[in-house]
Amino acid sequence: MRKMIMFAVLVGLAGLPSIALAQMVDGEVTKVDESAGKLTIKHGPIKKFDMDGMTMVFRANDAAMLKQVKPGDKIKFEADKVNGQFTVVKIEKSK
C-alpha cells in the first residue's frame, strides 16, 4: 500500500506543468534588436541548460518583450529552447 502511494506521488510530481519547475534567471539586458527579434542578456547561471553566467543572444518569443525592456534594465527571465534556439519565454523587470 505504501508503495502504491509513493508511486502515485511520483507520477503526480512528474505530471506537474513545467511552469511549476521553471527557473527564473537574473540578468541584465545589454542590447535589444527589434528588427532581428533578439535580445542580448548578461545572465546568471541557468541550471536547466547547465550554463554558467555569460552574455549571450536570445530570441524573443514575443515581439512585445522587445518593447518592454531596454539596455541597462535588470530583469528576471525564463529561457527555453524553441526550435533549437535559446529563447526568452518570459521576462520581467527586477525591482
Question: Can you tell me which of 56, 57, 73, 80 binds Cu ion, judged by CB under 5 A?
Answer: 56
Binding map of Cu ion across residues 10-49, x = CB under 5 A, - = no contact: ----------------------------------------
Judged by CB, which is closer to Cu ion: 45, or 67?
45
Cα distances (angstroms) measured from residue 47 to each of 43, 69, 78, 85, 86 = 12, 24, 11, 17, 14
* Amino acid found at 85: Q
Cell numbers standing for residue 51: 550554463
Question: Can you tell me which of 51, 61, 62, 68 binds Cu ion, judged by CB under 5 A?
Answer: 51
